[in-house]
Chain A
């Protein structure tokens, strides 16, 4: 038997008895970041493929929401900062080894691009929109000329942003559950899936909905593959990672993970999408809500569980 006790009675807030320095704010931030990344990626890709007419929601309508989603995400991150008056320090340093730092800089690029893209497509939501001032109209006209460049940036930075939401966690080797490079691709895929789900929800065209349901099915398949792969990696790794994986394989987050993330967040919506494609009509809100919920739960359980996993000494 081995028993370990802090006999001097340490009770540092959010560190003891178990680490909980990051709460829901970070999970929300990672979820919204992934969702924004997904929307930007699809808008950029389909614009570059010349399919703006065929998929108007993906290219024009849905990305108008991105600045709002990013603002909410950044607000959640801001809530998480404990020394708020100094947050501008993020932008006086560039530190490549720190994912927090390059994430902050990525957002610095993504946010203005998404705002411009939203501004030139604002009439998708508000058909009577008028910029009122001549200079604003001139600026709009100027950017309309650079759509292609922006679309490229949206694709590239969409991928970086999506991967970043995973890398932010996987860079911490102190938390064995996070310390797997699969989190980057896994969170990227989950963000793309959330993005395609939202496009399905907003889209009025049957054809567009069908294509995004198909894309989403593929993404769900990839996600399941990554999840299996993640556990295989853990089980073949060191003791600390085997124990970290136990949290989801019999430990006390098992039910939440398999029910909320895998069954309700992936398998059920996949089944509903297949039924829809087979012409059995399902209200689109149901699979979309489940996918968004599962995507958030994945972030939440990994953020929370990671802080329960640790080195043993």
Chain B
């Protein structure tokens, strides 16, 4: 099992519903977010091009955050998701420093927090909250080992990119372009 997500940058309108859905579903502390929306504008008027991306932890296959965690609090879980065990985390911030995507933060209670791919929902057969709520249906989540999962299918027919592949983290969030 290899969980992955694809985000269609052509369909995303930047409404940030995914951000609010995550905050609600995961009871994210006020003032923090586990996913966020980036808008990139290229060019000069009138030749402008916009890309909108909903970003979150990439649940990397070669995660520097898991590697540098001194206690094993950051670890791989089902389907390659990267999770943090609260009561093993000492809050040293090494993992925060090691993530090229700035996907982690220190929870006000002291441990490190981040996207979990909504594993608690996925285990029940549901989609992650951000994917489920997206009004343009621009996100696809599933198992890359399953040829019939929506994410495998869409990656077969569309062009895509990942962020900072040169960082060598082997990220699992694909952006359809």
In the complex, what residues of B have CB within 8 A of residue A81's CB? 90-92
State whether A14 and B38 are in contact (beta carbons under 8 Å apart), knowing that A99-B68, A173-B167 are contacts in the complex.
no
The answer for the CA separation of A11 and B35 in the assembled complex, in Å, is 11
State whether A174 and B98 are in contact (beta carbons under 8 Å apart), knowing that A89-B73, A100-B92 are contacts in the complex.
yes
> A6, A8, A82, A312 — which one has the most chain B CB atoms within 10 A of its CB?
A8
Residue tally, chain A, CB below 8 Å to B: 48
Is A90 an interface position by the 8 A CB rule? yes
In the complex, are the beta carbons of B97 and A172 less than 8 A apart?
yes
The answer for the CA separation of A270 and B40 in the assembled complex, in Å, is 49
Is A211 an interface position by the 8 A CB rule? no
Is B163 an interface position by the 8 A CB rule? yes
Partner of B96, one of A15, A86, A173: A15
Interface string of A73-96 (1 = CB under 8 A from B): 000000011111011011011010
In the complex, what residues of B have CB within 8 A of residue A1's CB? 41-44
The answer for the CA separation of A245 and B164 in the assembled complex, in Å, is 19
> B31, B64, B87, B93 — which one has the most chain A CB atoms within 10 A of its CB?
B93
The contact size tier of chain B is 35 or more
The answer for the CA separation of A123 and B176 in the assembled complex, in Å, is 71
Q: How many A-B residue pairs have CB under 8 A?
A: 151
Interface string of A164-181 (1 = CB under 8 A from B): 000000011111000000
The answer for the CA separation of A187 and B154 in the assembled complex, in Å, is 49
In the complex, what residues of B have CB within 8 A of residue A308's CB? none
Is A53 an interface position by the 8 A CB rule? no
The answer for the CA separation of A100 and B99 in the assembled complex, in Å, is 15
| Residues of chain A from 89 to 126 with CB closer than 8 A to chain B in the complex | 89-90, 92-93, 95, 97-101, 104
In the complex, are the beta carbons of B105 and A15 less than 8 A apart?
yes
- Apart from A6-B37, A19-B102, what 13 extra A-B contacts exist at CB < 8 Å? A1-B41, A1-B44, A7-B38, A12-B32, A89-B89, A93-B72, A98-B69, A100-B70, A171-B68, A172-B68, A238-B166, A307-B97, A311-B167
Return 13 A-B CB contacts under 8 Å, by A number.
A7-B14, A7-B39, A12-B105, A13-B105, A14-B96, A15-B102, A21-B97, A22-B93, A86-B111, A99-B68, A171-B98, A174-B98, A174-B99
